[in-house]
Structure formats: structure tokens, C-alpha cells
Amino acid sequence: MINFRRSSAVLLGLLATTALAGPVPAQADEETAPEPPRVELVLDVSGSMRAADIDGRSRISVAQQAFNEVVDALPEETQLGIRVLGATYRGQDKKVGCKDTQQIVPVGPVDRSAAKAAVATLRPTGFTPVGLALRSAAQDLGTGATTRRIVLITDGEDTCAPPDPCEVARELAAQGTSLVVDTLGLAPDEKVRRQLLCIANATGGTYTAAQSAEELTDRIKQLVERAGDTHTRAPTVVGGTSACDSAPLLAPGVYADREAFSEHRYYRVPIRPGQELRASVSMALDRAVNRDYGVLLRATAADGRELVRGADAGSGRADVLSAGLRWSATADDEDAAEAEESPAPIVEPTTVCLVVSNSFAPRPGTAATPGMPVELTIDVVPAAPAPDGPDLGRGWMLLLLLTVAGLITGLLAGLLTRWWVATWREN
């Protein structure tokens, strides 16, 4: 009854090749091999990690065991670094204690035994400068075209704000290099949970409350694996403008931008006759917003006339809200297509403006800057003309109808012939 057809690899290959068949961007794609995935584990070694409340073991020993297993199972190409916070300063001076963060394993190809040895010597000690540690970790990971991932493991809330770690995370995510912070809470209380959720939301990461050594190990392994799977899919940062004339001209691909509440951002895409524009936009809910929200993507001509729009609205908990549209030159642009066949084939591409707007509203106390993350996907493909199928039919009903009609016609013709022959004979 259920008819399964496994989609073949051939189809996937076809999809992949056709997807790449857009116009060639002005600059050739870099042929260099992609960067290896870069991950940094940031571990809280503050005094509270001494608490022995995970399966009867202390939090730090559970974390150490998890790190050892993660280092053992690390994929070959992944570059892993480890940074600790609150690991050395034993005093009570907050000013000094809040600068206590060190990178104990530099980001790079991992020397497993050295990394394990460095982790084994850690003893719970000082304060919890999460904000500073995040900032330093982002520096450790460097800048580049691929996504960097920070895995933050902590059991207590930041004791050193300002800077507020969540603000720091949002600021880091807006800096240009794609950065994701995944957070893990060890036996977290309400304040820790709020803080870690806020950090994860601000960077598009995930939050996990680990209650056992096994959960912690599995989750870190999964995150490191995910970093390896997905780090190359990072968008290009672009800055949309507030008017069409000065908007950046985009080739097919994925772009990232930031848009403030109620802002309109413009981008331009050149489209030749016979081409179809495909655009989609996602806005991430990286902070607390009012319950109902929407996003609108409009394609307009250079004179502001709307060509097509895509919109979506939502409410409640979500990670992104997205909309998309297709548009191809038709009707009034056909003149241009005909002009192409004239002796001077100079065809000016139509420049389509894309306008991204939103109806998000901040809750009281929600920061308005930097803007919310926008991800814009542009593709230009050959247009698909309307089918001019023949005025014919298909299907079994058609065959039945034609057969019955033929039969009736034959019968009538036969009867008529009989009657006509009979009357002709009589005369």
C-alpha cells in the first residue's frame, strides 16, 4: 500500500549541479581547501565546581572525565582548543579574580596526551568571569570564512558582570566571523539557566542541562561532531542600506546581515531576461521580543513598484522566522527579450531591489543594538516558462470516453446504413 521510492543519488547530483548553474560571480570562487573546523571548549573551574552533586562525584571530576573522552574521540581534522576560567587565583580580590582566564590548549591539531595532562591538573579555585572568557575564546579562534564554535561548560552564574556575558555573546556574534556558542550547565540553578539560555540564543547555539557524566560527554561529542559537519556553511557578511540606489549588488549565495527593529534593509540583484530570481530571508529571534512578530521580503523594481512579496508571521517560541519569493521577468520585460534578437544584443539586466523588513517589537529592557541576525539567500536560475501543453487529454477516463463514443458512432452508422440500404432496395 505504501509506495516508497528511494530518491536516488542521481537526483541529488542533478539537483546539486543545477543549483550551481547560476551566473558566475565577478570574482572567481576561492579554490583553496576550506578551513578545518575550529572549536574551543571553555570550562569553568571556579570554586563551586568542587560541589559533589553529580552521581556522587564532584562537578570538576565529571568535566575532566568528559574532556578526556572527547579528546579521545576527536575527529582527525578538528582543531580543538581548551580555555579555563577561575583556575588560578585563590584570593578574594574581585578585580584580579575576574581577569583569571587562560588558554590551556591552543586551538590547533590536538596533542591528545598533552591536552589530557593539562585538563588533569585543574583544581576548582576562583571567580567566574564568563564574559571575559567568551571574548578571549573568540580571539583564540581567530577570524575567517567558516563558522567557529565555542562550547561553554559552567555550573555557576557569572560573578564578574559587567560585562554581562549575554551582551558579550551578542556583540561577538555580530562581529563578522560566524560564531556559535553552545552552553552546558552542570546541575544548573535558575539564574545559571537564564544566563546560559541567553548566551545560546544570542549566537544561535543550544543549551543543555547536564545531570550526569554520560550526558555531558555525549553532548560535547555531538557538538564537536556538528561543528565538523556544518562549519563550512557560513554566509558572507553584507551591509544592506536604507535605499535601493545605494544598496549592495549581490551575486547568488548566502549573506548575513543585521537588522534593527522596524528597519528596512535594501539589497540589489541583477536579473537578465529569461532568468528567475529566488530569494529567501530568515530573521533570528536572538533576544526577548514581544509575543507576535513577522518578517516581510519584497522584490521591487528600481522605481519602487512592487513585483512580488513573501511574508510569514509567527508567535511564541521560535529560533528563526523566514519568508521567500520567486520572480521572473515577464510581460513588460518581453520587449527587452525581443530586443536581444536585434543586431545589437546589448541587454541591460533588470536590477531588482530586495527589501527586508520586520515587525518584531522589543520587550521592555531588550537591547536594540546590534540588530537581529538576518540571513539572506539569493539564487538566479533560468526561468521556467508557463507550460503550453497541447489541448489534449490523458488518463483512463479519456480512453473509456473515446472508446464508448467510437462504439456509439459505429452502432449509429451501422443502423443508419441498414435502414438506408433497406429503403433503397424497396424502391
Distance of CA 293 to the CA centre of its chain: 19
Question: Smallest distance, Å, CB 416 to other proteins?
Answer: 9
The DSSP string of 264-313 is EEEEEEEE-TTEEEEEEEEEE--S-B-SEEEEEEEEE-TTS-EEEEEEEE
- CA–CA distance, 272 with 380 (Å, rounded to integer): 9
By beta-carbon proximity to other proteins, the closer residue of 1 and 95 is: 1
Of the pair 162, 382, the CB lying nearest other proteins is at: 382
> By the 8 A CB rule, do 209 and 188 touch?
yes
Let me know: does 76 contact 210? Beta carbons within 8 Å: no
**Minimal distance in Å, beta carbon 231 to other proteins?**
9
Nearer to other proteins, 165 or 252 (CB): 252
Minimum gap (Å) between residue 378 Cβ and other proteins: 6
Q: Name which position in 35, 69, 167, 375 contacts other proteins (CB under 8 A).
A: 375
Q: How far is the CB of 284 from other proteins (least distance, A)?
A: 8
Of residues 313-332, those binding other proteins (CB under 8 A): 316-320, 322-328
Distance CA 358, CA 360 (A): 6
**370 in contact with other proteins (CB under 8 A):** no
Chain centroid to CA 29: how far? Answer: 21
**Closer Cβ to other proteins, 49 or 238, answer by number:** 238
Cα 296 to Cα 73: distance, rounded to the nearest angstrom: 44
Which of the residues 191 through 230 are near other proteins (CB under 8 A)?
193, 196-197, 204-209, 215, 218-219, 222, 225-226, 229-230
| H or E element in which residue 113 lies | helix 112-120
Residue 23 near other proteins by CB under 8 A: yes
333 scored as a contact of other proteins (CB under 8 A): no
Residue closer to other proteins by CB (options 83, 219) is 219
CA torsion sign, 408 to 409 to 412 to 415?
negative
Three-class SS state of 373 = strand
Report, in Å, the least distance between residue 40 CB and other proteins: 18
d(CA 164, CA 131): 6
Q: Please say which residue, 81 or 252, places its beta carbon nearer to other proteins.
A: 252
Answer for which of 238, 289, 356, 372 binds other proteins (CB under 8 A) is 238
* # residues near other proteins by CB under 8 A: 121
Task: Report which DSSP code applies to 161.
Answer: P
Rounded to the nearest whole angstrom, what is the least distance from the CB of residue 278 to other proteins in the complex? 6
50 scored as a contact of other proteins (CB under 8 A): no
Q: What is the smallest separation between the CB atom of 134 and other proteins, expressed in angstroms? A: 19
**Minimum distance from residue 90 beta carbon to other proteins (Å):** 31
> Cβ neighbours of residue 231 under 8 Å, at least 6 residues apart?
34, 35, 37, 38, 146, 147, 148, 149
Helix/strand/coil (H/E/C) assignment for every residue in 301-313: CCCCCEEEEEEEE
Please choose, from the candidates 187, 188, 182, the residue with its C-alpha nearest in 3D space to the C-alpha of residue 70. Answer: 182
For other proteins, the binding residues in 280-309 under the rule CB under 8 A are 280-282, 308
Would you say 205 or 371 has its CB closer to other proteins? Answer: 205
Mark the segment that binds other proteins (CB under 8 A) among 81-89, 91-99, 161-169, 232-240.
232-240
Alpha carbon distance 51, 165 (integer Å): 23
Binding other proteins by CB under 8 A: which of 73, 96, 117, 249? 249
When the beta carbons of 101 and 358 are compared against other proteins, the nearer one is 358
- Least distance from C-beta 381 to other proteins, angstroms? 4
Identify the residue among 278, 296, 333, 337 touching other proteins (CB under 8 A). 278
What residue has cell string 487529454?
A: 393
